[in-house]
Structure 1
Amino acid sequence: MSTYNLLLIYPHLTDRDRWLLHLLDEHQVLTTDQIHRLAFRAERTCQIRLVELRALDLLDRFRFARADGGSHPWHWVLGLAGTRFQAAVTRRPSPTERSHRERLLRLSASPTLTHLVAVNEFFVRLHHAARTSADTSLDRWWSEAMAARQFLTVHPDGHGLWTTAARTVGFFLECDRGTESLPRLVAKLGRYADLVRRGGPRYPVLFWLPPGGREAHLQHALRRMDLPVPVATATHDTDPAAAGWLPADAWRRVNLTELPSDHGRDHPRNPNWRDGELDLHGRGETNPGAVGEPSG
């Protein structure tokens, strides 16, 4: 699609559409249900709009067959026009049709696709909880790539800022699907401790684990350590916005805002500070960090 034809699409784009393009640019893939909970109230309205955006080549989709019959949910990604639009927004080179298709093929065939969808599910649940509560908000939702660029020394699966009432806490997400050994999970804490030593924030590391006995085994390992940073655990079948987090140094499950959280000091390695001031809500940001509620 030429630049001229892309301009013809603009009259069809709502603020909510542009917000969705931004999310898919940052987080790569979302299912129909996730997009519904993020940005729509009626499921049918969501489905109709997604089909319309696909017809404009702003979005594309794929899904796989289930072994027991039927199909998995549609997975939505940026279409060629959507990718080129976001390239213009972020001042990146516009992709060719070939490079776009190759990237989509790599994403759809990636062995980490399920993990990526699970990571996004964590933040979708938080954002959906904030939509239904007047005193909560998801103020930052950073992908692994964004967090790595901003914090340099750590590579969490995601990073966020969560506000309830007047308290804002940060966190680093480690989304576990049971594919790594527990010693390897625990070893990741060393990098977060190094981040604190270098002037970065001291945020809790959240291990989000499959249901079953894995959480108990990890807690047992954590409680035998002198932990360098706060750690809490919960399972995929719980609501991350609820009181389901078990700190590794306590026995009562708590809400996110009850976990210790230190935004760090003014330091070049700490993206929470801008021009000598603590800037948690993106007043000076140009990167896709803030997560607002789109208008329809």
Structure 2
Amino acid sequence: MPAITWIQQMLAFYSHLTERDLNILALLDEHRVLTTDQITRLHFTATRTCQDRLRQLQHLGLLERFRYARTGGGGDPWHWTLGIYGARFMAGTHDRPIPTERAHREQLLRLSNHVNLRHLREANEFGVRLAQRARADPQIRMVRWWSERTATARFRGVHPDAHGLWEVSGRLVGWFLECDMGTESLPRLVAKLAAYENLARSDGPAYPVLFWLPGDIREANLHRLLRRHSPPVPVATATHDTDPAGPVWLSVDGRRRTPLADLSSDHGRPVAGNPNWIDGQWDLSEPDTAGHSDLD
């Protein structure tokens, strides 16, 4: 397609896009893939309304979707990601290189066949549940929700599955998510804490590392190991079937479960490499995501 043609088509989309549409595109640009149910809980009150709007955005080429068949019949939920025009729109928004159709197709295929797709979906579910709680309660704010790509780029030396800032009644708590699917050994999980310790020792944030685990038995086994190693940074655990905003987080001392907002949290000092501070000033603005391609 000649460049002038698709540019004209992109410009024609603008009059059809609502603020909610723009928020959906931005979410998928940051978090790569979300299910229909997740998008419904974030931005709609009725599933049918969400389905209809997503299909309209798909018809415009702004979104794409895929799902897998289930053994025994039926299928997984639809997974939504940016379509070619959505990818180009977000690339233009963030002054990134405009993806070609071939590059976008290849990236979409890699994402839809990604061996870690289940892990990505579960990590995103953590953020969705928090954002859903914030949407329903005016005393709560989801101040920041960064993907693995953004958090890894912004915090030196650590590779969390997500990062966020959570505010309840004026108390602001940061967190790093380690979303466990039961596929790694427990010693390997514990070994990840060394990077967070190095970050804190270099005057970066000492945020609680949240191990979100698939079940109670794995959580109990992890706690036995953690108590032997005395983690150098705040650590808390909960399981996938819980509300991460609620009193579900068990610290290493194991005495009681507390809400996310009550966990220990240190935002670090105003040093280079701490994205909470810009030129010595406390700053919670969103990062420049110019380094992201649409589906990397």
TM-score by length of 1: 0.94
**1:126 maps to 2:130:** yes
1:267 to 271, 277, 295: 271
- Contact 2:245–2:261 under 8 Å retained in 1: no
1:21 to 19, 25, 28: 25
Helix, strand or coil at the partner of 1:94 = coil
**1:90 maps to 2:94:** yes
Tell me the CA shift for residue 286 of structure 1.
4.7
- Contact 1:199–1:269 under 8 Å retained in 2: no
- Contact 2:157–2:195 under 8 Å retained in 1: yes
Consecutive unaligned residues of structure 2, counting only runs of 5 or more, are: 290-296
**1:136 maps to 2:137:** no
Cα offsets for 1:122-177 (capped at 9, x unmatched): 00000001111110111101111101110121000000000000100000000000
Q: What's the counterpart of residue 195 of structure 1?
A: 199
**What is the number of residues matched between the two proteins?**
285
Q: What's the counterpart of residue 259 of structure 2?
A: 255
- Contact 1:36–1:43 under 8 Å retained in 2: yes
In structure 1, give the amino acid aligned to 2:108: L
Helix, strand or coil at the partner of 2:121 = helix
**1:57 maps to 2:58:** no
Cα offsets for 1:250-280 (capped at 9, x unmatched): 4100001111100000101110012222223
Helix, strand or coil at the partner of 1:44 = helix
Q: What's the counterpart of residue 235 of structure 1?
A: 239
Q: What's the counterpart of residue 215 of structure 1?
A: 219
Consecutive unaligned residues of structure 1, counting only runs of 5 or more, are: 289-296
**1:32 maps to 2:54:** no
Cα offsets for 1:175-221 (capped at 9, x unmatched): 00000000000000000000011121000000000023000000111
Superposed structure 1 runs of 4+ greater than 6 Å apart: none
Tell me the CA shift for residue 224 of structure 1.
1.3
Helix, strand or coil at the partner of 2:258 = coil
CA distance in 2 between partners of 1:243 and 1:253 (Å):
5
Q: What's the counterpart of residue 114 of structure 1?
A: 118
Helix, strand or coil at the partner of 1:171 = strand
Q: CA RMSD in A?
A: 1.0
CA distance in 2 between partners of 1:220 and 1:163 (Å):
31
In structure 2, give the amino acid aligned to 1:70: G
**1:161 maps to 2:162:** no
Cα offsets for 1:15-65 (capped at 9, x unmatched): 110111011011100000000001111111111100100000000100010
Counting aligned pairs with the same residue, the percent is 59
**1:287 maps to 2:291:** no
**1:100 maps to 2:104:** yes
Q: What's the counterpart of residue 178 of structure 1?
A: 182
CA distance in 1 between partners of 2:218 and 2:202 (Å):
32
TM-score by length of 2: 0.94
